[in-house]
Structure 1
Amino acid sequence: MTSPLSPEQLYSACDLDFLSFKTTDDLQDLSEPLGQEQAIEAIKFCINVDSYGYNLFCIGPEGTGKSSLVRQILGKASEERKTPDDWCYVYNFETPYKPAALRMPAGKARPFAKDIDKLIEDLRVALPAVFEGEKYKAALKHIEDSFRDQKTQYFDDIQKHTTGKNVSVLRMPVGLVVAPTRDGEVLSPEAFEKLTEEEQQEVLAELNSAQEELENAVRDIPKWEKEQREQIKKLNEEFADIAIKHLIDDLKKKYRRNKDVTAFLRAIYKDIIDNIALFIATTGDDASAADAGDDEQPSAEEDQLMSLIAKQKSETPLRRYKVNVLVDHSETKGAPLVFLEHPILTNLIGRVDRQQQFGALVTDFNMIKAGALHDANGGFLVIEAKDLMNQPASWESLKRALRSKKITMDPPATDGGMTTTILEPEAIPLDVKVVLLGEPDLYYTLAENDPDFPELFKVEANFFPVMDKNEANITKYARLIATQARRNHLRPLEQGAVARLIEHGSRLAEDNQKLTAHIASISDLIREANYCAMTDKSAVITRGHVDRAIVSKIKRADRIQERMAEQIRRGSVMIDTEGAVVGQINGLAVFEYGQISFGKPSRITCLTRLGSGGVLDIEREVDLGGPLHTKGVLILSSFLAARFAKNTPLYLTASLVFEQSYGEVDGDSASSTELYALLSSLANAPIRQSLAVTGSVNQFGQIQAIGGVNEKIEGFFDVCKMRGLTGKHGVLIPKTNADNLMLRQDVVEACKAGLFNIYPVETVDEGIEILTGVPAGERDENGNYPADTINGRVQAQLNKYLAHALEYKRQANMAPQTRPIVA
């Protein structure tokens, strides 16, 4: 018969020889990665392949250190890379609604923007100074006087030409007017009516002739005015050139190596020259506003509005010459590394802000804001995949940017009833490595359902939830614990506390040969152990403090577990831990609620009879059995047929049920338990109720590994301990689960004292012998089992069912046939 596991096999203690320190103060911080060698190689491969689509998806559960490891590796890689260029947006003088992108060497954009700001301030002073100077005024007056003199002389000639006639050309506020005269005096309408008809006709003839001459003369005036405007424009350009050319030339000389910048400066110069009237008009408007203000004092609101309008007028001509620095790498060392925590669309690709002014939403290139793609351009961008998938527009925009290798800002949606200015900023070339962090389920969902995903994210880095428990990793684990304690300003840990944390790491990994890679859980436990040390006023964290922290964490969340235990203690849920019953066995299940998981025993029963229904799964019949549980039950039928009815029909109906189960049952970890109950019922062999069983079974009767073995054992142990341990209690587990054991110390101590036992079994035959105390039995040379064994009893019972079935069929065939009477 199989022997119980020794206490040493139930808990793998950390080898203190690997922890050669007194407290964690003696250890250096862990700077290199801990475990995850495969993921590290994948990350390094991805960042060094400069080809389309070689972006990275880091796959692993939350808390396995994906983010910190990516930050560590990418941080080092970014320091070794060249700092990318700065980017600006400037006014597009040819297409104003499409701001132009301007590339500049790293760290040069901000100084250039300051140079342009200084240029603007200089223009604010230089242009008014030039156009308000005496030299300009004298030149302008000369042009105006020349035109006025020419115009006066021309009309004087017309007046002389009409002298001595009955008409005269008069200067009136509305212009030149031809009027009838007599003896040098203008005739009034009454005086004109007193003239004879012949005199009136003579005057009218002379009026028409003079009017025609005047109209012919006036036709030359627009030509003179055009000549005057051209002369004034030329004058303005000459004086503007004096004011700004040296300013522009200084900047062109400073940035002569950047063709885009010099082209922009030339465009500024040309625009100022072409639109110099705006600057002169602005100065004149300001003066007019100031003069108007002397007559009447405005109210506070009017004054504020007038100030705003005046400010906008003064800024408008010069605002378009400003430089909007979008990306500034003046303080960046190496390539940028950006972690985007809230990947909404505007945070990813940037935005164009708008401002409400006088009932309209207005904007310009100065309101363009950078997104994470701009900031990470030339480097690395890291995003949580789950957060990104919650923003479909961001995901689509990211894929579009990666495909086109450009960052394109979509125009903002217009608000109803509001006039809106829309910009289309020039796209910026994109060169970035995108790293997504996510769970395995999300990765495989994207890989199967999004055709763009495999094309754009060709590299995957798998972060495994566990790592090998060897000397190297144990040493690094200890240094990691020391690093976490110092980083979070916690007390140092003694050697025993570190050992206990490492042992707990194996428990979380559910493998005494592994350590959990869920560093977040270990960090939380250190904090909670630090609290226990603080309450004890201890300067260091001891093993006892870690134990208390573990217990406290469970106690804070064990409300449901306590409620279930109370139901068993009071008998509401029926669980036997003494005696022996045919067809009844204690199964084990794991319940998970939030951050806590625990085991609980469940009664499984089986009844058998003659029939042809096979093994009936009651849970499945009422839609409470999941597919994996149903699979396990179907395997039982295959096992019985293969072992006991290879060459004969199997006349059997067996019903299996989880008693007092009111929820869905799934998983195959109880299939061996159900098989033991089935064999017990067929062999009429009572099963010891002091034992519980877990483990799945295959068609050959081999017991297979299951999950949650520690919680299951502890769940049955707690029930037995509550009723009093007798030395007969224990649990049957798959032998292949022996390496998963990291049991609580009270369970280990009970096993050491002989009060509780853990039996590792490989086959159904081993298990049934322990449960019933009856040998399983092996076939003899004739293929028969000994009669006093479990297999022999089962074979005999099935043969009995077969004989009865054949007898019933024979009697049915011999019975007289009754035929219906036809009327």
Structure 2
Amino acid sequence: MLKKLTFEDLCSNCDPSLLEFETTDQLEPISDIIGQQRAVRAMEFGLKITKKGYNIFISGPTGTGKTTYARLAVSKAAKEKSVPEDIVYVFNFAKPEKPAALFLRAGMGYELTKDMEKLVNEVKREIHRVFDDESFEVQRQEIVEKYQKKSAEIFEKLDEQAKAEGFIIQRSPQGFITVPLKEGKPMSQEEFDSLSEEERKEIEEKGRGLQPKLDEALRRARMVDKEAREELMKLERKVALDAVNPLFEEVISKYAEFEGVVNYLKEVKDDMIKNLAALKQVTRDKTEEINEFTAIFTQGIPKEEFLTRYRVNLFVDNRNTKGAPVIIETNPTYYNLFGKIEGKASFGTVVTDFTMIKSGAVHRARGGYLIIQAEDLFKDPFAWDTLKRTLKNGEARIENIGEQYRVIPTVSLKPQPIPVDVKVILIGPSLYYYLLNEYDEDFKKLFKIRVDFDVEMEKTKENLKNYAAFICHICKNDRLLHFDREAVAKVIDYSSRLAEDKTKLSTRFNDIVELLYEASTWAEIEGSDLVKKQHVIKAIEEKAYRSNRVEEKLLKMIEKGEIIVEVSGQKVGQVNGLSVLDVGDYTFGQPSRITATTYLGDAGVVNIEREVKLSGKIHEKAVLILSGFLGEKYAKDMPLALSASITFEQNYGGVEGDSATCAELIALLSSISGIPVRQDIAITGSLDQHGNVQPVGGVTHKIEGFYHACKIKGLTGTQGVVIPSKNIDNLMLKEEVLEAVKEGKFHIFCAETIDDVIEIMTEMKAEEFHQKVKEALKNLAEKAKEFFDGE
């Protein structure tokens, strides 16, 4: 049944008297999410369940407060959990290429770092002190003298044996040699050459006889020298151990509860004693070249870098963490998530060590929560797959991109993997969730909790109260002027308009917060101490004005006749349809001329937009529904000998949707019957094959769009719009349109069937109109029969 809507049907403004306060300053602020009970229940459960695979995906439109709520909910849950361990990387003395990870109670990692720095400095001082001490030099000298005496005895005995044979042992650059004696003195070369050949041979023969004794003496001397060096080394190690043991015992006792740390400290002490020569070198005041032994021990490492092996790399520091960590990674690249191994330039190449291992967000979130925006995550080609692998395996590896793709393996650091127990919260559009759920098998296993945000909530008394408390929270938190209750009521009306439903409120809180900011600013500009209704209206109007340039240009083109829209009179085969244009931050309605032509033939209904590829799939379906309606209504007892074409005139950007189905059908039936239809009434509404009018979207914007077109060409008092009856709850019209309706200058009708639309558009009874259409179709069928029979 056709119904003309009253002023009360077109809007449901919030009554300020329902708000039990004068200003928001009198309210208790609320920071929790409101109107998202389904999402809240899912989030609470997802945060409580600790089983593997129960990570969370928060889906929903932009601006609904997903990220803000995620931070609040996760932070609240994190407070109830314990602080996870610190992680440090240390030098692996057994396998230097595989740095070892140690785990300590929160705060102890930082302490170990500082304790190791202090320990190394104290060891250096003690080593320097004990080896410069006079008592050590006395013990050293005793050992040296003892073995020098042994060595001297060996050579004295050798000298005696040589003299008995008529020789003396002399040291030369080439080593020890035997020199013959003459009258107790070494024989010169000239004297040797002056001897007869027999004498020279005899001397040479005796010299060769002494060579084994000389070799044996040298061997024994080397053994003595080796024993001397070993005893000196034992002395040095004993002195060093006596010096450093108390230092190490103090640190070991502090970390006695951490077995890994205790073992590491013991390895450090053993390594220091093993590399005592290198350690002594770095304690010297003068910068000397590393001696032969030090070069061997340090493998050519400059002495200022030798002590790096005793440093501690504080990989994850939780000393200031309260509860479980909550990491919000705003730039989730591969390296930011999973860490990296840095390098530095040295002599034309890049070198690295375990102190250059840097943690990622996954490591810092260990034992807690990691929040990531899905859209940012998927921009990195390596991040998503690595995140899935980390969650599946329960451990995070630190390796630079490309290591696994090298054709030739290279020597590089392979840090010990870190076991991770982290709950990941991904935030993104619903489309991402559907695509991942459909095409990524791992996603289903790893993200079993969906927190789905809605764009609207019921307009109940409780929610109105919560909305006001939310406004209070924003005012106090962001230092805005407080709102009086009329201003709050206007914000609530704006929220219902955003929701496109007068029975609901929008949960797109980002848009609401923007309105609060701007209304407060306009109040400040006017010097008011409160935000009032006029300031909210001003903010809404100014926000629209900043973005409605395209709408104004189109209205100017309608006014000039460049875009042809007729808003008075009657026409055959022409109807004003309504569409919605979205230009990013602004949405508005626009009238469009829909025309239809019919002629003899059997092509059926031709969608001109489809033929030129300007029609979307939904619009193509809508046109095919027209054919279904025509067949069901008029062709049960005769064939349709009809060719017809339908188009949106002056449309150059494409058509999508089915909201013009009613208008297209009226234009088509008008063309078939020759009965003119009103141009001062625009139509919006979908249609099924049985002629029932179905609801459409954007009905408020469509009505306002036609109103503006009528206003710019001149209001006649008869103009209006027909909408589906099921769209009445979606009406939240502007004050200007409401006043025009109230004054009888503009009219809104609702229809349930196409017959209702026919009656207002043709001012005829529907049965009469259908009879005219059927007669016209019958006439076309008879002409077609005559034509084909004649042929």
* TM, length-normalised to structure 2: 0.96
Q: Which residue of 1 aligns with 2:520?
A: 530
d(CA) in 1 for partners of 2:210, 2:329: 84
d(CA) in 1 for partners of 2:301, 2:229: 28
Q: Which residue of 2 aligns with 1:767?
A: 757
d(CA) in 2 for partners of 1:165, 1:574: 135
Superposition pairs for residues 664-813 of structure 1, below 5 Å?
664-777=654-767, 789-812=768-791
d(CA) in 1 for partners of 2:285, 2:323: 50
SS in 2 for 1:163: helix
Structure 1 residue runs without a partner (length 5+): 291-308, 778-788, 813-823
Q: Which residue of 1 aligns with 2:214?
A: 214
d(CA) in 1 for partners of 2:674, 2:431: 47
Q: Which residue of 2 aligns with 1:12?
A: 12
Q: Which residue of 2 aligns with 1:352?
A: 341
d(CA) in 1 for partners of 2:140, 2:172: 26
d(CA) in 1 for partners of 2:411, 2:490: 65
Q: Which residue of 2 aligns with 1:202?
A: 202
d(CA) in 2 for partners of 1:660, 1:319: 76
Cα deviation for residue 688 of structure 1 reads: 0.9
Contact between 1:411 and 1:423, CA under 8 Å: does it hold in 2?
no
d(CA) in 1 for partners of 2:359, 2:597: 72
Would you say 1:277 and 2:296 are equivalent positions?
Answer: no
Superposition pairs for residues 69-148 of structure 1, below 5 Å?
69-148=69-148
Would you say 1:27 and 2:16 are equivalent positions?
Answer: no
d(CA) in 2 for partners of 1:493, 1:806: 75
Q: Which residue of 2 aligns with 1:594?
A: 584
Change in Cα spacing, 1:772 to 1:247, as seen in structure 2 (3 Å) is same
Q: Which residue of 1 aligns with 2:628?
A: 638
Superposition pairs for residues 622-637 of structure 1, below 5 Å?
622-637=612-627
Change in Cα spacing, 1:312 to 1:179, as seen in structure 2 (3 Å) is closer
Residues 80-123 of structure 1: CA deviation (Å, up to 9, x unaligned): 11111111111111111111110111222112222222111111
Contact between 1:587 and 1:670, CA under 8 Å: does it hold in 2?
yes
Q: Which residue of 2 aligns with 1:503?
A: 493
- What root-mean-square deviation, in Å, do the aligned CA atoms of Structure 1 and Structure 2 show? 2.0
Q: Which residue of 2 aligns with 1:616?
A: 606
SS in 1 for 2:438: helix
SS in 1 for 2:561: coil
SS in 1 for 2:89: strand
Report the AA paired with residue 466 of structure 1. Answer: E
d(CA) in 2 for partners of 1:288, 1:662: 84
Contact between 2:32 and 2:69, CA under 8 Å: does it hold in 1?
no
d(CA) in 2 for partners of 1:281, 1:580: 105
d(CA) in 1 for partners of 2:171, 2:784: 138
d(CA) in 1 for partners of 2:620, 2:165: 127
Question: More displaced, 187-196 or 472-481?
Answer: 187-196
Contact between 1:360 and 1:420, CA under 8 Å: does it hold in 2?
no
d(CA) in 1 for partners of 2:345, 2:271: 27
d(CA) in 2 for partners of 1:53, 1:8: 52
* TM, length-normalised to structure 1: 0.92
Would you say 1:452 and 2:442 are equivalent positions?
Answer: yes
Report the AA paired with residue 336 of structure 2. Answer: N
d(CA) in 2 for partners of 1:736, 1:288: 93
Report the AA paired with residue 397 of structure 1. Answer: T
d(CA) in 2 for partners of 1:723, 1:212: 129
Q: Which residue of 2 aligns with 1:478?
A: 468
Q: Which residue of 1 aligns with 2:368?
A: 379
Cα deviation for residue 454 of structure 1 reads: 1.0
Contact between 1:282 and 1:313, CA under 8 Å: does it hold in 2?
no
Residues 533-553 of structure 1: CA deviation (Å, up to 9, x unaligned): 122111111111111111111
d(CA) in 1 for partners of 2:266, 2:400: 29
d(CA) in 2 for partners of 1:605, 1:283: 96
Q: Which residue of 1 aligns with 2:295?
A: none
Q: Which residue of 2 aligns with 1:246?
A: 246
d(CA) in 1 for partners of 2:149, 2:690: 122
Contact between 1:29 and 1:480, CA under 8 Å: does it hold in 2?
yes
Cα deviation for residue 519 of structure 1 reads: 0.4
Residues 686-721 of structure 1: CA deviation (Å, up to 9, x unaligned): 111111111110101011111111111111101111
SS in 2 for 1:728: coil
Change in Cα spacing, 1:144 to 1:175, as seen in structure 2 (3 Å) is farther
Q: Which residue of 1 aligns with 2:310?
A: 321
d(CA) in 2 for partners of 1:601, 1:241: 94
d(CA) in 2 for partners of 1:147, 1:39: 86
Residues 754-802 of structure 1: CA deviation (Å, up to 9, x unaligned): 110010111100001001101101xxxxxxxxxxx10110111112122
Q: Which residue of 2 aligns with 1:302?
A: none
Residues 555-589 of structure 1: CA deviation (Å, up to 9, x unaligned): 11222111111111011111111111111110111
Structure 2 residue runs without a partner (length 5+): 291-297
How many residue pairs end up in the alignment? 780
d(CA) in 1 for partners of 2:7, 2:107: 66
d(CA) in 1 for partners of 2:504, 2:490: 14
Superposition pairs for residues 293-442 of structure 1, below 5 Å?
313-411=302-400, 422-442=412-432
Identity of aligned residues (%): 39
Contact between 2:495 and 2:505, CA under 8 Å: does it hold in 1?
yes
Report the AA paired with residue 443 of structure 1. Answer: Y
Cα deviation for residue 289 of structure 1 reads: 6.8
Report the AA paired with residue 206 of structure 2. Answer: E
Report the AA paired with residue 351 of structure 2. Answer: V
Residues 362-384 of structure 1: CA deviation (Å, up to 9, x unaligned): 22211211111111100100000
SS in 1 for 2:4: coil
d(CA) in 2 for partners of 1:430, 1:123: 36
Superposition pairs for residues 502-581 of structure 1, below 5 Å?
502-581=492-571
d(CA) in 2 for partners of 1:172, 1:151: 18
Question: More displaced, 43-52 or 72-81?
Answer: 43-52
SS in 2 for 1:700: coil
d(CA) in 1 for partners of 2:695, 2:318: 56
Question: More displaced, 354-363 or 648-657?
Answer: 354-363
Question: More displaced, 380-389 or 445-454?
Answer: 445-454
Cα deviation for residue 747 of structure 1 reads: 0.2
Contact between 2:124 and 2:283, CA under 8 Å: does it hold in 1?
no
Contact between 1:56 and 1:457, CA under 8 Å: does it hold in 2?
yes
Question: More displaced, 155-164 or 492-501?
Answer: 155-164
Report the AA paired with residue 627 of structure 1. Answer: K
Contact between 1:363 and 1:421, CA under 8 Å: does it hold in 2?
no
Report the AA paired with residue 752 of structure 1. Answer: K
Residues 571-626 of structure 1: CA deviation (Å, up to 9, x unaligned): 11111111111111101111111201111111111111222111111111111111
Report the AA paired with residue 529 of structure 1. Answer: A
Report the AA paired with residue 797 of structure 1. Answer: A
Question: More displaced, 44-53 or 457-466?
Answer: 44-53
d(CA) in 2 for partners of 1:15, 1:267: 77
Q: Which residue of 2 aligns with 1:227?
A: 227
Report the AA paired with residue 105 of structure 2. Answer: P
Q: Which residue of 1 aligns with 2:294?
A: none
Q: Which residue of 1 aligns with 2:293?
A: none
SS in 2 for 1:538: coil
Would you say 1:654 and 2:633 are equivalent positions?
Answer: no
d(CA) in 2 for partners of 1:695, 1:225: 108
d(CA) in 1 for partners of 2:158, 2:690: 129
d(CA) in 1 for partners of 2:280, 2:439: 63
d(CA) in 1 for partners of 2:284, 2:331: 50
